[in-house]
């Protein structure tokens, strides 16, 4: 663990917490891209699948679980709790133009052709 890793992790966590607090305090998710938040949840889920196969440290495991939980909490707030304030008409990003090529590339660029390796290398 070095100071740069710690600073990066904590600033990333602060940004996520600020977003969650903003949504909760204003009781609105106006201006937030739900599709981007779904992609974050997909990235964290696939990137951190190694939680089931290897243990590095309590800090590492905790941060991975926190990132996953916060990303799904954000998705829940946008698509369930405050869905009336989410305007899908303005969220025009075409997710399939990103997910499909990355999914295809994950089968071509990997070290070992195993499901865990393909999903870890295939994160968006």
**Per-residue pLDDT band at 122 (split at 50, 70, 90):** very low
Say if residue 53 is exposed, middle or buried (CB neighbours under 10 Å; 0-12, 13-18, 19+).
exposed
55 φ/ψ sector (left φ>0, alpha ψ -120 to 50, else beta): beta
Please say if the pLDDT value at position 124 is more than 60: no
47, 123 contact by CB (below 8 A): yes
Nearest CA to 117 out of 35, 91, 108 is that of 108
The pLDDT, as a whole number, for residue 109 is 74
* CA 81 to chain CA centroid, nearest Å: 19
Confidence of residue 13 (pLDDT cuts 50, 70, 90): very high
pLDDT of residue 12 exceeding 60: yes
Query: What pTM did the predictor assign?
Result: 0.80
| Interval 79-93: pLDDT, tens | 999 999 988 888 888
Tokens 């309590």 locate to 58
The model's pLDDT over 28-81, given as tens digits with 9 standing for 90+, comes to 998 899 999 999 998 888 888 888 888 889 998 999 999 999 999 999 999 999
Sign of CA dihedral 4, 6, 9, 13: negative
Residue 108, pLDDT > 80, answer no
Over 60: is that where the pLDDT of 121 sits?
no
């Amino acid at each position: 663990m070095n100071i740069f890793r710690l600073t990066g992790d904590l600033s990333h966590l602060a940004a996520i917490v600020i977003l969650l607090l903003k949504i909760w305090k204003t009781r609105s998710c106006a201006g937030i891209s739900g599709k981007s938040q779904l992609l974050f949840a997909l990235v964290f889920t696939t990137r951190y699948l190694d939680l089931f196969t290897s243990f590095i440290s309590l800090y590492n495991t905790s941060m991975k679980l926190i990132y996953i939980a916060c990303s799904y909490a954000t998705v829940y707030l946008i698509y369930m709790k405050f869905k009336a304030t989410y305007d899908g008409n303005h969220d025009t990003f075409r997710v399939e133009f990103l997910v499909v090529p990355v999914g295809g590339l994950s089968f071509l660029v990997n070290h070992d052709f195993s499901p865990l390796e393909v999903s870890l290398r295939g994160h968006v």
